[in-house]
A and B are shown apart, each in its own frame.
Chain A
Amino acid sequence: MSGHALVCTQPLAIIAEQGGIVLGVGRREKNAVAQPQATTEQMMDQPIIVAKDVEKVYDTGKVRVHALRGVSLTITRGEMVAIMGPSGCGKTTLLNVLSGLDEVSAGTIVLDGRPMESMSDKQRTRFRAEKMGFIFQSYNLMPVLSAVENVELPLLVAGSKSRDARKRALETLALVGLADQANQRPAELSGGQQQRVTIARALVNHPALVWADEPTGALDSETSGDIMDLLSRLNREYEQTFVLVTHDPSVAARGDRTIFMRDGAIESDRPNQRPTGA
């Protein structure tokens, strides 16, 4: 319990700032090959995802659940989009189909200019490996791997050399304030720490697109504030696109735009007032 309290009081913002220095311009260039589009200025306003009339029906044999009923939306590069709505309205489902983890029942999704249905499972998987990061509500770390091993996994999947991967994983862990816990296993970390490992894992290969499904759902408000500070900072500094599902209006308020869903459809979609401070 004391460990948890200690972690919660750590000023994440400062660490993020230090991390920003670590993740200097040189690093970005090194990573440029993996995400060439992200660097060109003119592409910045181009949509990274365009969804049109997306329907999703779960057919379990006994029941048919119409989880998405004609959702259309466009997400631009560098945007931070919050999705809100009551439980069961289809937020997770939307995230899953947009990220290609799940297939749509009808409608089209164009991912980075490529229609999703034209991509094979293999191609989509590779796309995820290279350009996407996931932050799940229930941290979903590999229990048998240490924190740093968890974080380096996406790099290894994307084909980095193991020594480079280890170095970058440690840097990213430092960025989220867990330099000292690098060799601990998830079971030995508190909830907030585990979530930060998940974030480090999602961000370690500088994905163009980060999906976060209730990333702060299981955390207390103070910790969740710290995490959000970290996310918005990364979004701003690296022009990464964030799509996050949340129940917390204060979390949603930190994004560029908030989408409200109800019964599988978008009820409202409007830009937030830019937060003044940072």
Chain B
Amino acid sequence: MQDIFGLPVQTLMTVLLALFLVGAAIIGVLALRNTVMFKMGVRNVPRRRAQTALIVLGLMLATLLFSASFTTGDTLVHSNRVRALSTLGEVDIQVQSTRGAASQLDQLLGPGGRAAVYFDQTLVDRVRRALENDAEVEGVAPLVSESAPVLAPYSRLSEPQVSLLGVDAGSQAGFDRLKQADGAELSVRSLADGQVYISETLATEIGLRVGDKAQVFLSEKPTLVTVRGIYSEGGVPAAENSLVMPLERMQALTGNVGRINSVLITHRGDEIEGAEHTDGTLAALQPLLRGSGLEASPVKRDALERADREGGGFADIFTLFGGFSIAAGVLLIFLIFVMLAAERKRELGIARGVGMQRRHLVRMFTFEGAVYSLLAAAVGSVLGVAVGWLMVRVITAAFAQFNQEIVFDFQWSSLVIAYTLGMVITFAVVVVSSWRASRLNIVRAIRDIPEPRTSRRTWKGLLGTAALLLIGALLTVSGLSATSIALFMLGTSLLVIGAALLVRRLGVPDRVAFTVAGVTLLVWWLLPNSVSDAILPASLDDTGGIEMFFISGIMIVIAAVWTVIYNSDLLLRLIVALFGRVRGLPPVLKTSVSYPMQNRFRTGMTLAMISLVMFTLVVMSFITNAFAGIWDDTHRWSGGFDIRASTSYTNPVPDMTAALRTVDGLKPGDIVAVGSFSSAPVKAKAAGTDGEPANLNINAADDAYTDVVSYAFGSRAAAYKSDRAVWQALKSEDGTAVVSAITVPAKVNQEFGEQPPPVRLSGFFREDPIVPENTYIEAQDPRIGRVQRLRVIGVLDDVALSTGDVLVSQPTLEGLIQAPVPAESYFYKLRPGVDAVAATRALEAGFLANGMQAESIREEIDTFAGTNTMINTLLQGFMGLGLIVGIAALGVIAARAVVERRQQIGVLRAMGFQRSQVQLSFLLESSFVALLGIAIGIALGLGLSRNVIGGFAEQFPGVRYEIPWLQLLVLAGLAYLSSLLTTYLPARQASRIHPAEALRFE
């Protein structure tokens, strides 16, 4: 990956490494100067192996999560790169006509138009000369490339889009060589007249073997070629289906003798390194190309950047959703060290008693912590790679249907970042908790007397409260002025917290102050969308992105845990009242619930961890469930059609309706309607906006399509009262257009690493029901530059997938480019009961010569749905890793409790507690915390999901708020069971405590 958290990997790695090294150096120096402290601290590590193992396991979780999401990101970036490189190979820069769109249009409208993008072959020499002195340039080559259907006459299979490459055998230095699967090179020079090489993919796709003949449809009349060899690599720049012949032959076939349409440039170094010298070459070519109608495109660099962006976007999602688990992991680290300090308290107290300085204590503890952190970060980052590998396996399965190869990859830099990041975080927590531990009262520590409640009337406390209020006020104001809902909400929340601290200072009891504050925060953050829209300043509406999910999650968890902890006695009473009647339970219940209630810090931390993770899992289930629903409504996705198909532009079907009668395997009446699209490349931009018009492929529907289609509109021009009216208008009113949802900005932006649409309208949002009057797109004929305005009368539903970005009527398109455009895409509506898959096969066979590719829309949707669900499940699984954190916390606390309460357990046993009762009391204690955490998490998840789903539903009409009871039950059950499992061992240990021995030692 190039970026992590939006920061360049190199920078991040350097900074983290520097931090790490500085920290290590300080520790090293301190250790040398305090060898005694160092030994005292570190000797604890090997002394208690089991405990050390547990601590390391607990500490590593945060690092593991980082490492796993980075690995996933690396893999996706790498896979994207592999894909990008497979189409480009060594080619770094491609010089082409600037008239890209125009040339496409020319091609579309007739073979003669192609000439426009060709230029004189002598340019190659001029480019060579211009780059002569550049040691980085390894090769310059001419190329003629075209796209055309290829048909295998024997197998009767065809491929509508094959890249035909005319390659100069004399200019191959530095470029990729054609290689067979067995590694043998295929020489272009040795191709005789009429012989070609084809790519392995094309060969398998349409069943061609060496020696076979194939038809290439460069014009209406096919050219017959013979397959001389099949290459598995080296046919670049081209898609997977490609065909190579000598340059001269290609020039002759296209009628461009002495002319080419590309100059390729490759730099030294491998495929990826080649991109580095891009700027130098572009600059060197500038004078040569200026005013020539040609441009040099940095194709390699662009492809790599796109690959990185998309892969990185995926990793960002994982890190973001993993963020809750990472937050929980950090809490766990803190908890572990606080507990460790508690355990060492006596030892530390005695050390202080015999004259050790406080800072010595901090150091001693820090040394020990440093060893744990080093181990934990190492284990975590390596295990994270393993977890990442597992996730990649799942992703591979998810994308299997899309022919997207996923190649596992991990970068040392990511491992280093995960390690150092984990280390830096862990170590920071270690230092803070060491410092906290050092502030002990010697007498209390030695006699193991609980610390008294800190006085709340200190100056420091007052200052802290004041600072909190001030920061809160500042954030609120800056949130308002910067129109950031996140800042605003954070600020107001700090104000609430500060106010609670303040009134408590004025004598209001803790319970009242904190309960009111906690509940206020909960209500504030969980306000239904409708209410918050009404009471919050309008400028803040919908300014939040995905980060709001994170912030609000953390805030409501804090608020809920806060409220619960300060009302725990009520809870205790409630539980005792509920279960007090069960025989034998009251004494057990009493002890098991009292402990967590008294240890507010531990309980609060554990509750926060469990509920945080449960909360995210619940919200995720809601989202998965909500979105699962949108796939069910096939009709919404398909617009009422069952099959979509495309044909090759070189050999269109003149009259589809008539042609259908002759298709074998289709009975008359099987197909009840056929709509078609023609499409043409234009330059377009939203009227009234600055900036250059971008290339846009505009689609034009025929009347049959607009009559049948049932796609809904998210927004309509005011004049049209129904969706149907818009479709009617598109047909009947010349110069009208409807656009896809992504061409209109959304209020809440949820895109990750997506490509921006070519045309972006402004002045209204996707969520608005009305398209403002005077919303126009300026479309330009790319050949002559004539501009025509298209009036936008509707914004399609998000799920209208097959319409393209801008859809007009065929007469409108004809008016735009002054020529009829043949149809290329077809939409078939079947009679109910007709098998779509069989019909698809029949169509493909029937329109073989036209290179038809047909797809059952239902199948496509199912594939989408399957992938979507799989990715969501993966995400959920990843987030579920966080549950380990919460459960580990319970285990750590239980294990610690067994040690701490040895004597008390002895007393209980002497008093007549049975072994089973001791065990039960431990299990109940963890159950109490686990169930409370689970309940809080689910409750908050239920609360927030309503808003989250509501927000989605505005954008995706099929999304519904539906409680996934089964999933929640399974989640809660799993979480609870695993928490019981982790506490089972400590509980058993507790029950085995020998009373006489426990009572003997204090």
Contact = CB atoms under 8 A, between A and B. Distances in A.
* Most chain B CB neighbours (cut-off 10 Å) among A99, A130, A145, A165: A145
Interface string A150-176: 000110111100100100000000000
B1000 to A, nearest CB: 7
A140 B999 contact: yes
Nearest to A185: B598
A122 B595 CA distance: 25
Contacts of A101: 909-910, 995-996, 999
A134 B914 contact: no
A138 B1002 contact: yes
A31 to B, nearest CB: 15
Given A101-B995, A140-B903, A159-B583, A134 B591 contact: no
Interface string A131-151: 010101010111111000100
Contact of B912 (A96, A130, A136, A141): A130
A102 B994 contact: yes
A44 interface: no
B909 A134 contact: no
A99 B910 contact: yes
B597 interface: yes
A157 B909 CA distance: 10
B904 A156 contact: no
Interface residues of B, number: 34
Contact of A92 (B587, B597, B915, B1000): B1000
* Most chain B CB neighbours (cut-off 10 Å) among A102, A132, A156, A159: A156
Contact of A125 (B586, B904, B914, B997): B914
A121 interface: yes
Categorize the interface residue count of chain A. 20 to 34
Contacts of A143: 450, 598, 904
A25 interface: no
Contacts of B904: 140, 142-143
A102 B909 CA distance: 11
A270 B355 CA distance: 50
A119 to B, nearest CB: 13
Contact of B594 (A121, A128, A136, A144): A144
A141 B587 CA distance: 14
A162 B589 CA distance: 12
B291 interface: no
A142 B591 contact: yes
Contacts of B913: 125, 129, 157
A187 interface: yes
* Most chain A CB neighbours (cut-off 10 Å) among B449, B903, B912: B912
B590 interface: yes
B909 A136 contact: no
A76 to B, nearest CB: 23
A102 B996 contact: yes
Contacts of A130: 912
Contacts of B597: 144
Chain A contact surface mostly: helix
A99 B598 CA distance: 32
A231 B598 CA distance: 33
Interface in B943-987: none
B444 to A, nearest CB: 10
B545 interface: no
B907 A140 contact: yes
B584 interface: yes
Interface in B25-60: none
A106 B587 CA distance: 35
A126 interface: yes
A128 B911 contact: yes
Contacts of B745: none
B594 A142 contact: yes
A129 B911 contact: yes
A149 B912 CA distance: 16
A233 to B, nearest CB: 23
A154 B907 contact: no
B203 to A, nearest CB: 76
Contacts of A93: 996
B544 interface: no
Given A125-B909, A149-B594, 8 more contacts: A96-B999, A128-B912, A134-B910, A140-B903, A140-B906, A140-B907, A145-B594, A149-B590
24 contacts: A93-B996, A96-B996, A99-B910, A101-B910, A102-B995, A102-B997, A121-B915, A122-B914, A125-B913, A125-B915, A129-B912, A140-B907, A142-B594, A145-B594, A153-B911, A154-B911, A154-B912, A157-B911, A157-B913, A157-B917, A162-B576, A187-B449, A187-B450, A201-B911
Interface of A: 92-93, 96, 99, 101-102, 121-122, 125-126, 128-130, 132, 134, 136, 138, 140-145, 149, 153-154, 156-159, 162, 165, 187, 201
Of all A-B residue pairs in the complex, the 9 with the closest CB atoms, nearest first, are A129-B912, A102-B996, A156-B587, A144-B598, A96-B996, A144-B594, A101-B996, A128-B912, A140-B907
